[in-house]
Structure 1
Amino acid sequence: MRLLKSIFSVFAIAVMLYSCQPKDYSNAISDGSYQFAAQNKLTEIIINDIFSPPVASRIYAYPAIAAYEVAVLDRSGEYQTLMGQLNDFEKTNFEIEENVYLPLASLAAYYKVGTALIFSEELMQEHKEKAFKELKSKGIPNDVFEASLALGERVADHVIAYSKKDNYHQSRSFPKYSISNDPNAWQPTPPMYMEGIEPHWNKIRPFVLEASDQFKSAPPTPFDTEKGSDFYREAEEVFNVVKNLTKEQSDIAYFWDCNPYKVNVKGHVMFAEKKITPGGHWMGIAAISSRTAKQDWKGAAETLAKTSIAVFDGFIACWDEKYRSVLIRPETYINKYIDEDWLPVLQTPPFPEYTSGHSVISNAASETLTSLFGDNFHFVDSTEVAFGLPVREFKSFRLAADEAAISRMYGGIHYMPAIVNGASKGKKVGEFLVNKIDTKAEKLAAK
């Protein structure tokens, strides 16, 4: 009996000593999972707060840049800061305490910047507190936690200060778009007849572009109502494609709809259908790709930062053309000159037609992602599953961008030149970004 008691006592002491040992928290955050979860929450809030696609691109970009700037501080020196590379992003030094856990600091920076850019701050705050509670349970000591959060907040403050100089807040007081009576000009479309959104987005400071019109598109086809004219044929093409749509084409149209303004009408009742923005879709693809490639947390931060920059600058380039040409949408033209009862498959978004936003930002994002993962990168796009749509598989980012672009024809909301020239503009934006900024330290050193 005494022997058993002795053995039990030794065992109890051993258990107690083991339980008192600090847990190894070095892999508490090993990949991008926590940042992806934070981004998903940001997407939910963007939808909830009904931010426009251009504004949403801004909300995705600054938090991703902040998270990446913490990753740059890793002692490996693998990554290079974007300070001094992005337009007007001033360099500064961040003091790092010995007990800082950089992956946590990166996540803290993401949460702080993201929360500063939305309306429903409490929703992001709740999500952050839940994530931090889970991380504390993984054994991160209190002093490490506090030091990491302090660093993340210092980086976030620098990025927030940078964001305040991009002309966004000033643009909130710029005049609204004035509807033109010109027959070729864009008109608000049913069912809500909303005014044109963000007519001054070309005045927002881009991250890498030298000017909003750096990759100015050729003018759209001259407006004409004559049967057989080039413009009439372009509208007729949209009319016929929608009229003879296959199931696959219909599936593609709905998969890439990404219209946060969709309103359903049933009798006298109108209700909004919450949807992800085009930029949100591609940020989802970026996260999926990072996970597929098994990137660590630093690589994930790089992927989200570079993709968000491409999407942001893509919207600036696209909106610059939209409110220069201010072109009539197919729905308006076809109803007036071809068939008054015709309806597009997708609800027409509330801004001018030329060029196609999906075509521009999809190609800007795809060029950026291709530079990170290669041209033959297979991925399963499950971004729209949360919104009731099935997955789609792609063999490359460029093929996904091609499908996103042509989806606008299938949806009946764009003429072909807006798709073709929009894709060309987006590729130029993406290529320019890839050539202008370097995130890998060895590449910058080689210049």
Structure 2
Amino acid sequence: MRKRFTLYMLVTWLVGHCASGFAPPVGPSPRLLHRAEKNLTRAIMHDIFSPPAASRIYLYANVAAYETLVMQDENYRTLHGQVAGFPNIPGLKSDKKVNYELAAVYAFFKTGGKLVFSEHLLTDSVNVILNDFREKDTLVYNNSIRLGQAVSDSVLSWSTKDNYASTRAKRRYTYSKQKGKWTPTPPGFIDAVEPYWSQIRPVSLDSAGQFKPVPPHAYNTDTASLFMKEVREVYHVTRKLTQEEILIASFWDCNPFYLNTQGHLNFATKKLSPGGHWISIAGQAAESKNKNWQETAAAYVLTSMALFDGFISCWDEKYRSQFIRPETVINAYMDEKWRPLLQTPPFPEYTSGHSVISAAAAVVLTAVLGDHFAFDDHTETDYGLPVRSFKSFKEASEEAGISRLYGGIHFRSAIVNGQVQGDRIGQHLLSRIKVKR
């Protein structure tokens, strides 16, 4: 009920501008789009989508909103002709009165709703908006909904060709029995998450392996090896964490499925995904500078593209190297009772997903909103953690990376090389896709 009431209040601003029957130009405050992003995040959390799968939902929903708004702004470019296979989405005739803001939010909700399991979490909210608007101006309402639906239909049709459906039908992942390869970890010993994600069609990359990182240090349990040096670093760092380092690890935890174990009782705590955290940062940053609808939609869509391609590239390497997690090695060779501060995620170690996607997102946000962009990140306050302040997107991405060492779930080389990988992805994305003319 609270969600419905909040959205109802937000839409009164939009309705007032359209009561005359004329579609207004894009207004300066895209509050409704920010609210739509938050509602989609809630649905993703509720349904416990994996980090890569969550990035796919954010991508298509944000593409739908962006492509709707770009139809009335000649300063911005459609993705058609820039992204392989992206459709040419026709708008309505020029004499049709359309509120592009309403159409964009409707396209966002309809697209996101078809990609989550709990579609009702979004449809309940959007119906409140639509029912009120219908009473105010039937003509603009019908045109706007028709346009939003057409854009959503086109984007969803394009989404069906990204190989997602075929990866759902793949055989169960088979673990390698070679030494140094990843195996499921405590407490849940959960099966491998998205082992075939590298087969998903990227947005800007030519292939999943385009920015293949250098390989991890060779698995070697000799005490003088580079590998064991990294193992010892994780062990010693996590045994003497400061309160600040513990806070950093917790702030960037972003584990969508944290398994609580109390005796024979197991239950999950649902949390934000890593991509969801960066979508939140994009929204907060755009809102802090009063960016208009089109500028905000551009920030969201570029961030979602960076996250999407970042996960494809990272997961390609994860299941290529299939590298062992610190927890497994430390328990076997150093301390069988040791546990990391954070729960080890159910997929291979190399490279660090947080490091890859955070670096990629930071690159595009820097390009869109500026370097040395200071901001306060309120993302985790809903989950009991304080606000953190950053001097730039790069600083935030670097903290996200090192948080995985503090959390005890990654070796340093996976973080450092993951950041290089993500930076290259972000730069490549900007070279291939131009949102402004």
Distance 1:386 1:90 in 2: 38
Alignment partner, residue 435 of structure 1? 431
Alignment partner, residue 254 of structure 1? 250
Deviation, 1:24, is 8.2
Alignment partner, residue 92 of structure 2? 95
Distance verdict in 2 for CA 1:133–1:287, change over 3 Å: farther
Code of the aligned partner of 1:118: V
Distance 1:52 1:210 in 2: 24
Alpha carbons 1:168, 1:204 under 8 Å: kept: yes
Code of the aligned partner of 2:107: A
Deviation, 1:287, is 0.5
Q: Identity, % of aligned pairs?
A: 45
Alpha carbons 1:307, 1:368 under 8 Å: kept: yes
1:226 alignment partner, SS class: coil
Distance 1:28 1:317 in 2: 36
Which consecutive residues of structure 1, in runs of 5 or more, have no partner in the other structure? 1-20, 442-447
TM-score by length of 2: 0.93
Deviation, 1:127, is 1.4
Distance verdict in 2 for CA 1:392–1:205, change over 3 Å: same
Code of the aligned partner of 2:398: D
> Please, what is the CA RMSD of the aligned residues?
1.6
Distance 1:87 1:185 in 2: 35
Alignment partner, residue 219 of structure 1? 215
1:424 alignment partner, SS class: helix
Q: Deviations over 1:198-243 (max 9, x none)?
A: 0010000000001000001111000011112111110100000000
Q: Deviations over 1:40-98 (max 9, x none)?
A: 11111111111100000000000100100011111x41111011111221324322452
1:202 matched to 2:188: no
Which consecutive residues of structure 2, in runs of 5 or more, have no partner in the other structure? 1-18
Provide the aligned length of Structure 1 versus Structure 2: 418
2:261 alignment partner, SS class: strand
1:387 matched to 2:387: no
Deviation, 1:26, is 3.5
Alpha carbons 1:368, 1:431 under 8 Å: kept: yes
1:108 matched to 2:84: no
Code of the aligned partner of 1:78: N
2:223 alignment partner, SS class: coil
Distance 1:266 1:73 in 2: 54
Q: Deviations over 1:325-359 (max 9, x none)?
A: 00000000000011111110000000000000000
Distance 2:26 2:70 in 1: 19
Deviation, 1:31, is 2.3
* 1:325 alignment partner, one of 297, 321, 326: 321
Distance verdict in 2 for CA 1:133–1:187, change over 3 Å: same
* 1:237 alignment partner, one of 233, 239, 242: 233
Deviation, 1:135, is 5.2
Alignment partner, residue 71 of structure 2? 73
Alignment partner, residue 444 of structure 1? none
Distance 1:261 1:107 in 2: 29
2:80 alignment partner, SS class: coil
Distance 1:87 1:32 in 2: 29
Alignment partner, residue 6 of structure 2? none
TM-score by length of 1: 0.91
* 2:142 alignment partner, one of 142, 146, 155: 146
Q: Deviations over 1:252-310 (max 9, x none)?
A: 00000001121111121111111000000000001101101111111111111111000
1:369 alignment partner, SS class: helix
Alpha carbons 2:133, 2:141 under 8 Å: kept: no
Code of the aligned partner of 1:112: K
Distance 2:279 2:316 in 1: 22
